């Protein structure tokens, strides 16, 4: 399995859903999409081994990948949706906004005006704000301090890991738990977290300085393409029904499958 | 039995091969008027001749082979003549049956008559109001176009003149109609197993035509069925048949005649579909022929198989899943009809049985019926090299088990493999259904696919599989590399911890040997004394015991 499949504990969630070991998921025969994007589900320069199978969340990445000359796709629905099935929601009072800063990754840090973003959040959000930073920002005191000093509660769900190391297997569990405590989910870019938030029952909002990431590859069209394709997901106040419909499409709800089918699709047969 | 008459142009030794064609016989019985003076021209099977004799008046048969004539003379009420068409001089006949066409009516001593000249010779033998049945091979047939053999091998060299080089032969329905001296109703003839009124279009005759062609032994470049469907959509089904049968001077018969098992199915088109009749027949075995299970009306519409093929090609698994679920809800095992998605019609929001008369002889459960249908679909999807979204390691039992799951059949519990080649749990689940599907293929006389395109595609698939397996091996090796790296990281960490441990132990030993540690330990123990006075008393008593008293 490619080590990306362990990111955020996605393979672990699917293994548990399939009735297998959560802590040590079996090797998944192919590549698992680990985040929403406007391309084929992976970054434009991602390398795949010959004849690799690609398991996308939904059909659109398959179609785009096909146009890139890539084949062997099968859409399965986002593992986060399977997590929602595995972890039913308890009745809980929701309050405030869980705000996600567009995050960098291990290879690229974000650059932008954090203070201006804070001011806009204060003006917009009606209740308390919890600010989620990916660890790459969380561990940069100069970034984290901005938001702590602004009076926001700052959280991080851990690391996605690399080469099977330091993966927080419960990353998405923590994220889901936080989302279920909040009424709104917001971000400065349309991103995976927004779709997760809507799936977890939050009202979405996408606004503020989208910021730039070092080495960002605009091959797929960037922010302007997002505006053209998903205008219903942008703004401070969004039509919830439309957002839910789009979320279902982007997370591939209709592509989810039963455990037995997943086991066969991933070649998770019992072996000697 | 009558003596064989011999006229000019007979051949000996020679024989013309004939085959029974129940569908053709049924059509002849419907169109030939009873009690008329009849001539059968050219080779026809004895059973077909018998069916003509059943209703005919005085009947004469002309064949070029003397030995064939001698065999046919065994039939009652039949005057057999051995000789060529151009050698026969006779009073005109009220009925002429030349269903075999005009290719095998001349001998090696005959003049080299073109097809139209033979037609003239035939017409001379007919009364002005005669009923004439005339067959013609289609030079433009799809089967002929896809025939993998070169022309000189296709027709053999048994004919001393190359018949198919004759430019006067009609090569379309309209040409045939225009060249005939009679008004004709033309049937598209698919290997004489399915005959369809050339003016009729629809999914059912297309399916029956494709089935008829699938049962032939002709080696082809690519599967014929796809071309048949495309031609039918273009309204060209009659244009690509293997031949035609012109019915001249007779009342219209039914629109479709098709061989189904040993019986014949006939159909007429209605506004909403097809009115069906199926003859009775006895077939015993794993599958039983039961004409009563064929509905009297089959709706228009595409088959479930066509719909599923399209969804699989579009990689639209959710929609595929919905159809599969609806099928699971629809299927019951009461009638015992062996399910095949290529004969279940989508009828609005519902499904309808098609014309298959095959039922399972022994009681069988709903799951096994579904398995049989899904296995047959699997064979046609994968064997047909159709596009689909499932990875190669699923193809086979697992894939059928997956579809069964979509249809509401509980998946088998995973089993622990006992060897590297242990079959998956799904193998047991689908075993009975596979047997039923195989039995159906036998009674349908389906031949293993041996077309060139499939062979090339099989080779390509094998190459692709090899390519992908190499990639898989690479992926596994890379994973091993990652894991190895992770193990090394841990090993290094363990080494670091061991060094730290050793250093700590040395430091601890050094501390334990120092006066400061001894004093500290003494102080630590002294600090644990709860009652200092009592402790001091005890110490004093112990010292007294050890020091002897002064006397």
Tokens for B425, please give them. Answer: 């749990």
Choose among B316, B414, B482: nearest Cβ to A270: B414
pLDDT above 80 for B426 = yes
Q: Does one domain contain both B170 and B207?
A: yes
Task: Give the mean model confidence (pLDDT) for residues B33-46.
Answer: 96
- Residue of A57, A270, A271 to mutate for B, most B C-beta atoms under 10 A: A270
Contact A50 B405 (CB under 8 A): no
Choose among A50, A73, A164: nearest Cβ to B468: A50
Q: Does one domain contain both B342 and B463?
A: no
Residue B243 lies in a domain: yes
ipTM at complex level: 0.92
Contact B424 A263 (CB under 8 A): no
Choose among B405, B420, B486: nearest Cβ to A163: B486
Q: Which of B269, B295, B312 is the last residue before a domain boundary?
A: B269
CB contacts < 8 A, A to B, total 100
Q: Which of B395, B430, B446 is the last residue before a domain boundary?
A: B446
Q: Which domains does chain A have, with CATH numbers?
A: 3-86+252-265 (no CATH), 97-244 (3.40.50)
DSSP B70-92: HHHTTSTT-EEEES-GGG-----
Q: Does one domain contain both B312 and B175?
A: no
Strand, helix or coil at A260?
Answer: helix
Find chain A residues with C-beta within 8 A of B325's C-beta. Answer: none
**CB A199, CB A84: distance < 8 Å:** yes
Find chain A residues with C-beta within 8 A of B315's C-beta. Answer: 59, 62, 73-75
Choose among A1, A264, A270: nearest Cβ to B479: A1
Residue B299 lies in a domain: no
pLDDT above 70 for B357 = yes
Decide if B448 touches A, using CB distance below 8 A: no
The residues near A85 (Cβ < 8 Å, ≥ 6 apart) are: A17
pLDDT of residue A107: 55
pLDDT of residue B423: 85
pLDDT of residue A3: 73
Share above pLDDT 70 across residues of chain A, in percent, rounded to a whole number: 92
Contact A271 B315 (CB under 8 A): no
Q: Residue A251's closest CA among A128, A84, A123, A31?
A: A84
pLDDT above 90 for B309 = yes
Tokens for B431, please give them. Answer: 């075993």
Nearest residue on chain A to B399, alpha-carbon basis: A264
Decide if A228 touches B, using CB distance below 8 A: no
Choose among A74, A163, A269: nearest Cβ to B391: A74
pLDDT of residue B163: 78
Choose among A50, A62, A164: nearest Cβ to B483: A164
Strands in chain A per DSSP E: 31-32, 54-56, 73-75, 97-100, 110-111, 129-132, 153-155, 184-187, 203-206, 212-213
Q: CA-based angle A176:A178:A180, to the nearest 5?
A: 70
Q: What letter does residue A170 receive in the DSSP assignment?
A: T
pLDDT of residue A110: 66
Residue B112 lies in a domain: yes
Q: Quote the domain boundaries for residue B520.
A: 515-546
Three-state secondary structure string covering A50-70: CCCCEEECCHHHHHHHHHCCC
Residue B160 lies in a domain: yes
Choose among A19, A52, A272: nearest Cβ to B417: A272
Residue B296 lies in a domain: no
Cβ under 8 Å to B: A residues 240-259: 254-255, 257-258
Contact A254 B318 (CB under 8 A): yes
What stretch of H or E contains B507?
helix B452-512
pLDDT above 70 for B156 = no
pLDDT of residue B549: 64
Q: Does one domain contain both B250 and B308?
A: no
Tokens for B296, please give them. Answer: 């009297």
Q: Does one domain contain both B426 and B388?
A: yes
* Paired residues of B288 in beta bridges: B359
Find chain B residues with C-beta within 8 A of A52's C-beta. Answer: 471, 475
Number of domains in chain B: 4
User: pLDDT tens-digit profile of A83-123?
Assistant: 999 999 988 899 999 999 876 555 556 677 878 889 999 99
Find chain B residues with C-beta within 8 A of A269's C-beta. Answer: 414, 417, 424
Decide if A77 touches B, using CB distance below 8 A: no
Residue B101 lies in a domain: yes
Q: Does one domain contain both B164 and B257?
A: yes
Task: Give the mean model confidence (pLDDT) for residues B6-11.
Answer: 95
Parts of chain A with a pLDDT under 50: none
Find chain B residues with C-beta within 8 A of A64's C-beta. Answer: none
Choose among A1, A72, A264: nearest Cβ to B402: A264
Residue B176 lies in a domain: yes
Contact A261 B416 (CB under 8 A): no
pLDDT of residue A166: 76
Q: Does one domain contain both B439 and B542?
A: no
Q: Does one domain contain both B265 and B198?
A: yes
Write B466-470 long-range contacts (CB < 8 A, 24+): B467/A50, B467/A51, B468/A50, B468/A51, B468/A72, B468/B392, B469/A51, B470/A50, B470/A51
- Residue of B314, B316, B317, B320 to mutate for A, most A C-beta atoms under 10 A: B317
Higher pLDDT, B256 or B361: B256
Share above pLDDT 70 across residues of chain B, in percent, rounded to a whole number: 98
Nearest residue on chain B to A62, alpha-carbon basis: B315
A31-32 and A110-111 beta bridge pairing: unpaired
Cβ under 8 Å to A: B residues 313-352: 315-318
pLDDT of residue A109: 64
pLDDT above 60 for B26 = yes
pLDDT above 90 for B287 = yes
Choose among A29, A75, A260: nearest Cβ to B393: A29
What does the mean pLDDT of chain B come to?
92
- Residue of B314, B318, B485 to mutate for A, most A C-beta atoms under 10 A: B318
Residue B233 lies in a domain: yes
Q: Does one domain contain both B64 and B171?
A: yes
A49 to chain B, closest Cα gap in Å:
5
Contact A164 B468 (CB under 8 A): no
Q: Does one domain contain both B434 and B532?
A: no
What are the φ/ψ torsions at residue B302 (nearest 5 degrees)? -75, 160
Choose among A75, A265, A271: nearest Cβ to B391: A265
A81 to chain B, closest Cα gap in Å:
16
pLDDT above 60 for B383 = yes
Q: CA-based angle A124:A187:A113, to the nearest 5?
A: 80
Strand, helix or coil at B183?
Answer: coil
Decide if A66 touches B, using CB distance below 8 A: no
Nearest residue on chain A to B422, alpha-carbon basis: A271
Tallying the residues shown for chain B, one arrives at 551
Nearest residue on chain A to B417, alpha-carbon basis: A271
Choose among B389, B390, B405: nearest Cβ to A258: B405
pLDDT above 70 for B452 = yes
Nearest residue on chain B to A47, alpha-carbon basis: B475
Q: CA-based angle B67:B72:B76, to the nearest 5?
A: 150
Report helix angle A192-199 to A79-86, nearest 10: 30
Residue B157 banded pLDDT, cuts 50, 70, 90: low
Q: Does one domain contain both B225 and B314?
A: no
The residues near A27 (Cβ < 8 Å, ≥ 6 apart) are: A1, B476, B479
Decide if B422 touches A, using CB distance below 8 A: yes
pLDDT above 80 for B540 = yes
pLDDT of residue B216: 87
Q: Does one domain contain both B239 and B313?
A: no
Write B445-452 long-range contacts (CB < 8 A, 24+): B445/B215, B446/B214, B446/B215, B447/B214, B447/B215, B447/B216, B447/B217, B449/B223, B449/B383, B449/B384, B450/B219, B451/B146, B451/B148, B451/B219, B451/B220, B451/B221, B451/B222, B451/B223, B452/B148, B452/B220, B452/B221, B452/B222
Find chain B residues with C-beta within 8 A of A81's C-beta. Answer: none
B256-260 and B194-197 beta bridge pairing: antiparallel
What does the mean pLDDT of chain A come to?
89
The residues near A198 (Cβ < 8 Å, ≥ 6 apart) are: A185, A204, A240, A243, A244, A247
Q: Residue B132's closest CA among B254, B250, B244?
A: B250
Q: Which of B426, B446, B466 is the last residue before a domain boundary?
A: B446
Higher pLDDT, A217 or B480: B480
Contact B405 A271 (CB under 8 A): no
Contact A272 B469 (CB under 8 A): no
Strand, helix or coil at A185?
Answer: strand
Find chain B residues with C-beta within 8 A of A59's C-beta. Answer: 315-316
B408 to chain A, closest Cα gap in Å:
11
B241 to chain A, closest Cα gap in Å:
38
Contact A270 B416 (CB under 8 A): yes
Residue B138: Cβ within 10 Å count = 25
């Amino acid at each position: 399995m490619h080590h990306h499949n362990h990111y955020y504990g996605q393979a672990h969630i699917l293994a548990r859903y399939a009735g297998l070991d959560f802590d040590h998921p079996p090797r998944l025969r192919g590549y698992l999409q680990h985040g929403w994007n406007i391309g084929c589900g992976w970054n434009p320069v991602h390398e795949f081994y010959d004849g690799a199978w690609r398991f996308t969340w939904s059909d659109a990445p398959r179609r785009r990948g096909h146009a890139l000359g890539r084949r062997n796709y099968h859409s399965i629905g986002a593992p986060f949706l399977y997590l929602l099935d595995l972890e039913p929601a308890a009745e809980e009072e929701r309050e405030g906004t869980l705000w996600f800063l567009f995050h960098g990754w291990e290879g690229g840090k974000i650059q932008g005006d954090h203070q201006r973003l804070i001011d806009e959040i204060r003006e917009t959000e009606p209740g308390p704000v919890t600010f989620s930073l990916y660890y790459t920002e969380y561990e940069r005191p100069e970034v984290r301090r901005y938001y702590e000093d602004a009076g926001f509660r700052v959280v991080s769900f851990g690391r996605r890991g690399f080469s099977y190391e330091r993966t927080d297997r419960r990353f998405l569990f923590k994220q889901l738990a936080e989302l279920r405590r909040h009424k709104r989910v917001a971000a400065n870019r349309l991103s995976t977290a927004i779709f997760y938030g809507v799936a977890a029952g939050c009202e979405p909002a996408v606004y503020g300085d989208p910021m730039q990431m070092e080495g960002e590859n605009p091959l797929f069209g960037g922010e302007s393409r997002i505006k053209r394709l998903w205008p219903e997901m942008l703004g401070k106040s969004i039509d919830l029904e439309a957002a839910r419909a789009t979320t279902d499409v982007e997370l591939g709800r209709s592509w989810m499958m039963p455990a037995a089918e997943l086991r066969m699709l991933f070649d998770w047969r019992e072996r000697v | 039995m009558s003596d064989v008459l011999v006229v000019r142009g007979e051949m000996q030794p020679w024989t013309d091969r004939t085959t029974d064609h129940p569908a053709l016989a049924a059509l002849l019985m419907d169109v030939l008027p009873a009690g008329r003076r009849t001539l059968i021209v050219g080779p026809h099977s004895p059973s077909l001749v018998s069916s003509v004799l059943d209703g005919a008046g005085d009947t004469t048969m002309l064949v070029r082979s003397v030995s064939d004539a001698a065999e046919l003379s065994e039939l009652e009420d039949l005057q057999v003549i051995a000789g060529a068409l151009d050698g026969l001089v006779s009073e005109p006949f009220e009925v002429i049956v030349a269903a075999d066409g005009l290719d095998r009516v001349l001998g090696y001593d005959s003049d080299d008559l073109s097809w139209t000249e033979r037609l003239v010779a035939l017409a001379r033998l007919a009364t002005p109001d005669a009923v004439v049945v005339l067959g013609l091979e289609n030079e433009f047939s799809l089967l002929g176009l896809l025939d993998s053999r070169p022309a000189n091998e296709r027709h053999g060299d048994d004919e001393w003149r190359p018949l198919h080089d004759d430019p006067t032969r009609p090569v379309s329905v309209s040409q045939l109609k225009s060249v005939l001296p009679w008004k004709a109703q033309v049937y598209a003839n698919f290997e004489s197993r399915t005959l369809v009124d050339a003016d009729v279009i629809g999914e059912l005759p297309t399916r029956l035509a494709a089935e008829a062609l699938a049962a032939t032994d002709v080696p082809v470049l690519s599967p014929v069925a796809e071309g048949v469907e495309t031609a039918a959509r273009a309204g060209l089904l009659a244009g690509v048949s293997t031949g035609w049968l012109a019915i001249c001077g007779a009342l219209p018969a039914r629109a479709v005649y098709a061989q189904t098992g040993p019986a014949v199915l006939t159909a007429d088109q209605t506004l909403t579909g097809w009115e069906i009749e199926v003859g009775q027949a006895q077939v015993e075995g794993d599958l039983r022929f039961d004409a009563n299970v064929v509905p009297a009306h089959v709706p228009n519409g595409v088959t479930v198989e066509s719909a599923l093929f399209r969804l699989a090609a579009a990689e639209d698994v959710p929609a595929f899943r919905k159809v599969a679920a609806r099928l699971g809800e629809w299927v019951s095992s009461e009638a015992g009809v062996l399910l095949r998605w290529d004969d279940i019609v989508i009828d609005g929001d519902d499904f309808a049985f098609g014309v298959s008369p095959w039922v399972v002889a022994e009681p069988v459960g709903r799951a096994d019926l579904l398995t049989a249908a899904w296995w047959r679909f699997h064979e046609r999807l994968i064997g047909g090299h159709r596009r689909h979204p499932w990875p190669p390691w699923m193809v086979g039992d697992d894939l059928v088990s997956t579809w069964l799951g979509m249809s509401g059949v509980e998946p088998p519990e995973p089993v622990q493999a006992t060897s590297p080649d242990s079959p998956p749990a799904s193998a047991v689940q689908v075993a009975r259904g596979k047997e039923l599907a195989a039995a159906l293929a036998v009674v349908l006389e389906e031949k293993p696919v041996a077309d060139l395109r499939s062979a090339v595609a099989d080779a390509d698939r094998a190459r692709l599989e090899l390519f992908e397996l190499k990639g898989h091996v690479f992926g596994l090796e890379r994973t091993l590399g990652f894991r190895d790296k992770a193990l090394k990281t841990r090993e290094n960490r363990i080494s670091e911890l061991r060094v730290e441990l050793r250093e700590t132990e040395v430091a601890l030993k050094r501390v334990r040997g120092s006066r400061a540690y001894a004093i500290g330990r003494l102080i630590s123990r002294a600090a644990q004394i709860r009652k200092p006075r009592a402790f001091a008393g005890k110490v004093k008593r112990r010292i007294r015991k050890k020091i002897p008293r002064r006397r």
